[in-house]
Structure 1
Amino acid sequence: MAAQDSRATEARPGPGAGPLALLRNAWRQLTSMRTALMLLFLLAVAAVPGSLLPQRAVALEKVGDYLRAHPDSGPWLDRFYLFDVYSSPWFAAIYLLLFTSLIGCILPRLRAQAESLLRPPPAAPSRLDRLPVSLSHPSSRSVQDVAAVLRRARFRVAVRDGAVSAEKGYLRETGNLLFHTALIVLLVGVALGSWYGWHGNRIVVEGPEGEFCNTLQQYDEYALGPRLGAEDLPPFCVRLDTFHAGYLDNGQPLSFSADVTYTENGPEKKKSLAVNSPLRLHGANVYLLGHGYAPVLEYTDRFGRRQTTTAVFLPQDGMLTSSGVAIFPDANLDPATGRRDPSQQLGFQGVYLPTVPDNVSDGSSKHPEERNPALMLVAYQGNLGVDNGIPRSVYSLDKAQIDAGRLKKLGEPHMLLKGGEPWKLADGSSIRFLGTKKWATVSVRNDPGEPVMLAGAVLLLLGLLPSLALRRRRVFVRVTDGVLTAGALAKNEYPGLAEELELLMEEK
């Protein structure tokens, strides 16, 4: 009984052995290839909401529109970071677990593969006829002759104890490891881009007034990586000189290009941009995205004071039917008192048609080129709501001001203006359509992870080819009393192993 109690005491785990065993098992599970594949699949599934729902880092305005259109479900989706998928805690957790799992999978296999590359093929077994593929026939060749044949076939060969051991296809595992290492490199590239990358979008109008410099205040929308600040942005300025667009007769786009002038701590330089030909600067690339028209309007108030504005109109269809607003908050300033009555501000809601259709009531352009341009305007007078400090869209009038009666239509319901035509309003003021300027949306981006991801993609292909094309197999041969006996086995399924062995052992 005492002996049994002693053995039970020796078998009982000591303090801390239980948690250590649990951690060891958890690490083994995490670093298994099955877990890595599951995490990779989970990461792909987790990225799906990022492609289905608008993301704040790319389209902040669309996120706001979605939240206003879905007041019930929108806040719940936002609570689970579905509008910030790629910066969410749960996406980062999957990402880090996958990163750890891949490293834990690869390191032991790298060591084993390095040892196998340096180690000669194992000794031949005693019974070659028990291998999956085997053959035996009379032969006049010696062991050295067989070894020479296998070397010419690019086998690693070792001759020991009168038998030949040969191995081929060991680079398959090297390709497999290279493939999985490339996945880690890709993850590192994504992490670098997420931490240190940034982007900003800006609508730029032709001419000097459309010039912008690389500061956050001059972007319509921007996003900085968590490891970057506004002071880390490289200094440069860009001006859109001219924009060129070509179309087929049916309105299908043919070509887009832009001539820009830029400065980068030096004299001005010129560059022509295209959709797939960005302006490459130090620390940033400038890409050409969308384009459209910006009507130029001259407003003369009832005191004879003139103001000119260039209003960006946003396209509503493929024919560049565009809508927007032009506001004059400083209109009707009384020259006698120098005071401005907020209730006398002017705003114009409009639709621009590059090519007016035969039936104007259709309300859409016939072609995206300016073949018969016209601007349809609706005038509003009253308080525009620009002085209350509340952010508002620059592409539409404040609907709340209209609904509250603080903005009212002035004069006729609408007026269709051609280039240079004036519109006399009921309060004695007038608006004149002077023409248009073209604008382009440029996206300024910097992703320091791009070179790393390119290297990872190249490694991925280099590793994938041998892992798919090669088959690891071993061949063992003995020659005894004029009888050649050979056997072979493959690490993975290899239907052509028997045919290959017969060709290698064939008398020549």
Structure 2
Amino acid sequence: MRTALFLLLLLALAAVPGSLVPQHLSDPNGVTQYQLDHPTLYPILDKLQLFDTYSSVWFSAIYLLLFVSLVGCIIPRVKHHVDAMMAKPPKTPVRLNRMAGFRSTTAPEGTDAAAAVAEARKILAAQGYRTALFEGPRGEKSVSAERGYLRETGNLVFHIALLGILIVVGIGSSFGWTAQRIVTVGQTFVDTSVNLDSFNPGRWVTGENLPPYSVTVKKLAVEYESANKNALGQPLDYDASVTATKSDGTSYDAHIKVNHPLRIDGTSVYLLGNGYSPVLTFRNAKGEVVASGPTPFLAEDANMTSQGVIKVTDGLKKQLGIAGVFMPTAGRAANGQLVSSYPGLKNPRVSLTVYSGNLGLDKGVPQSVYELNTDHLTQIAGPGVKSSPALDLGVGETAKLPGGLGTVTFDRVERYASLDIHHDPTQGWVLVFAILILGGLLTSLFVPRRRMWVKAKPDAAGQVTLEYAGLARGEDPRLDEAVEALASAHAASLPDARSVGELNNSKA
């Protein structure tokens, strides 16, 4: 048992890195950003498998050892508990005056020892005790009683349920999956692996058997604190209004909020975050539209200063790669750099750094839409280019692209919702085992394991002395009170019984 407790503590400590650094399974974009922000530290942590904490070798080793330890702990305890429940209560001790709550009183004249013990047995049985009668060498009659087996039952239920959680979590990680998708307001995504920004399947999951439902984001309402200057810009509420269409074609409207996911076709769709998608239109030198549409920009700070990448592959003399910075409320920091001073749309502007050349898309090698590889590109506008600074645009403004390539227009700003999709086939079982763990723990804490004895000792003159005592397994602060209540109830049930106040109680 000590080994199991130590391993449980070790497992809790081993899980800490999973909350300190992003995980490939739940936040692949966060892992990519961590790699960019910490190029020296990332390879070390990656070698230690900290970005895959819950599937790492060291975490799995602790997990399996805890599993084996719990099995080795539970099996002998179950056998011992069953044997204890099948056995009759232990024999009455010879000297009850050594036990807790000892009381002794003289029974009314004419009381029969056997009858007195039989009456005590009825009282104990009515209180839920298992009882057994015994007879001493000098004619003493006694009843031995025990109850509180539910305490150990609760303890075993707790450990078995903990073992059950370990099993179903392991099953869930093999047959479950997670995915992420950024959806601009007005757009629809279908739950297929090719339509997801990232897809992290369990060991026994393929992308071919996902439920093909669809979700359309109709509106995204975001409320920020604007009255309290000390909390200016703090998000107060997120609410995504969506239309969900199940695999069978049934459609319905729903809302996705923080801690209020959309449940559809066995998956849970969470609103993980939100941001802005500037709508930019590119035209060639003839004024023809060659590219237009919203592009999600990823937030870099609490005021939604965001970065994004736009790739214009066709329609211009050269392919363009554009690194943009979007500011919903544009302002300048102390160093003169453009930043956003508020997360709401009060003065939206976008700053574009333009590169030209070969984007490398023709090679068939997949590229991230959020990254721009500039190894084979030439910067033609932005910091470091004297002839053409960065293109700084407000809504409705148009700027010329360097080299007479055409123009770019900042049309408007759309919002996007960052959705996190989870499928866990063992959620219901985890809930059941969690309830059993809580119930077993409460039972083991509040149900006392207790033994009680009543002994009738006749003397040569026929006078009967009654003795009462108890014994607790573990802490039982109400044991003395229970013994006193038993003595009072027993005295009241005897023929010609005296009141409780006349009992001659004495403690050894």
Give the alignment partner of residue 198 of structure 1, picking from 177, 186, 200: 177
Residues 53 and 362 of structure 1: is their aligned pair in 2 closer, same or farther, counting only changes over 3 Å? closer
Q: Tell me, in whole angstroms, the C-alpha distance in 2 between the residues paired with 1:75 and 1:324.
A: 25
Counterpart of 2:426, as a letter, is: G
Q: Tell me, in whole angstroms, the C-alpha distance in 2 between the residues paired with 1:117 and 1:152.
A: 18
Q: Secondary structure at the match of 2:204?
A: coil
Q: Is the 8 A contact 1:303 1:332 kept in 2?
A: no
Counterpart of 1:500, as a letter, is: A
Residues 448 and 491 of structure 1: is their aligned pair in 2 closer, same or farther, counting only changes over 3 Å? same
| CA positional deviation for 1:69 | 5.8
Q: Tell me, in whole angstroms, the C-alpha distance in 1 between the residues paired with 2:333 and 2:79.
A: 76
2:232 matches 1:232: no
Counterpart of 2:346, as a letter, is: R
| CA positional deviation for 1:47 | 2.0
Give the alignment partner of residue 332 of structure 1, picking from 293, 316, 329: 316
| CA positional deviation for 1:87 | 1.6
Q: Secondary structure at the match of 2:179?
A: strand
Give the alignment partner of residue 325 of structure 2, picking from 348, 351, 357: 351
Partner of residue 496, structure 2 = none
Alignment of 1:135-174 (within 5 A): 135-140=103-108, 142-161=116-135, 162-174=141-153
Q: Is the 8 A contact 1:302 1:427 kept in 2?
A: no
Counterpart of 2:341, as a letter, is: K
Alignment of 1:50-65 (within 5 A): 50-65=18-33
Q: Tell me, in whole angstroms, the C-alpha distance in 1 between the residues paired with 2:301 and 2:54.
A: 31
Partner of residue 434, structure 1 = 411
Q: Tell me, in whole angstroms, the C-alpha distance in 2 between the residues paired with 1:426 and 1:183.
A: 65
Partner of residue 218, structure 1 = 195
Q: Is the 8 A contact 1:235 1:265 kept in 2?
A: no
Q: Secondary structure at the match of 2:330?
A: coil
Alignment of 1:50-449 (within 5 A): 50-67=18-35, 74-140=42-108, 142-161=116-135, 162-207=141-186, 210-249=187-226, 250-263=232-245, 264-306=247-289, 307-333=291-317, 344-357=318-331, 361=336, 363-401=338-376, 406-409=378-381, 412-428=388-404, 429-449=406-426
Deviations 1:151-208 (A, max 9, x none): 444433333432111112221111111111110121122112111110110111122x
Q: Tell me, in whole angstroms, the C-alpha distance in 2 between the residues paired with 1:50 and 1:149.
A: 57
The normalised TM-score by structure 1 is: 0.83
Give the alignment partner of residue 473 of structure 2, picking from 476, 491, 496: 491
| CA positional deviation for 1:396 | 4.4
Q: Tell me, in whole angstroms, the C-alpha distance in 2 between the residues paired with 1:230 and 1:378.
A: 37
Q: Secondary structure at the match of 2:403?
A: coil
Counterpart of 1:435, as a letter, is: R
Partner of residue 14, structure 1 = none
Q: Tell me, in whole angstroms, the C-alpha distance in 2 between the residues paired with 1:79 and 1:425.
A: 44
Instruction: Say which is worse superposed, 182-191 or 111-120, in terms of deviation.
Output: 111-120
Deviations 1:58-102 (A, max 9, x none): 233443454566666644543443322222233323222222221
Counterpart of 1:353, as a letter, is: M
Q: Tell me, in whole angstroms, the C-alpha distance in 2 between the residues paired with 1:83 and 1:45.
A: 16
Residues 67 and 292 of structure 1: is their aligned pair in 2 closer, same or farther, counting only changes over 3 Å? closer
Q: Secondary structure at the match of 1:83?
A: helix
Residues 39 and 439 of structure 1: is their aligned pair in 2 closer, same or farther, counting only changes over 3 Å? same
| CA positional deviation for 1:455 | 0.6
Residues 275 and 66 of structure 1: is their aligned pair in 2 closer, same or farther, counting only changes over 3 Å? closer
| CA positional deviation for 1:395 | 2.9
Partner of residue 28, structure 1 = none
Counterpart of 1:425, as a letter, is: L
Deviations 1:86-140 (A, max 9, x none): 2223332322222222122222322332333343322313332343553323233
2:49 matches 1:49: no
Residues 93 and 347 of structure 1: is their aligned pair in 2 closer, same or farther, counting only changes over 3 Å? closer
Partner of residue 505, structure 1 = 487
- The alignment's C-alpha RMSD in Å is 2.6
| CA positional deviation for 1:459 | 0.3
Q: Is the 8 A contact 1:55 1:84 kept in 2?
A: yes
Q: Is the 8 A contact 2:381 2:391 kept in 1?
A: no
Q: Tell me, in whole angstroms, the C-alpha distance in 2 between the residues paired with 1:79 and 1:324.
A: 30
Q: Is the 8 A contact 2:380 2:388 kept in 1?
A: no
The normalised TM-score by structure 2 is: 0.83
Counterpart of 1:147, as a letter, is: R
Q: Tell me, in whole angstroms, the C-alpha distance in 2 between the residues paired with 1:70 and 1:295.
A: 28
Q: Secondary structure at the match of 2:11?
A: helix
Q: Tell me, in whole angstroms, the C-alpha distance in 2 between the residues paired with 1:475 and 1:244.
A: 66
Instruction: Say which is worse superposed, 367-376 or 466-475, in terms of deviation.
Output: 367-376
Q: How many residues get paired? A: 461
Q: Tell me, in whole angstroms, the C-alpha distance in 2 between the residues paired with 1:420 and 1:73.
A: 43
| CA positional deviation for 1:451 | 0.9
Residues 80 and 286 of structure 1: is their aligned pair in 2 closer, same or farther, counting only changes over 3 Å? same
Deviations 1:277-320 (A, max 9, x none): 22211221211111111011111112332121321111122222
Counterpart of 2:20, as a letter, is: L
Q: Tell me, in whole angstroms, the C-alpha distance in 2 between the residues paired with 1:357 and 1:291.
A: 21
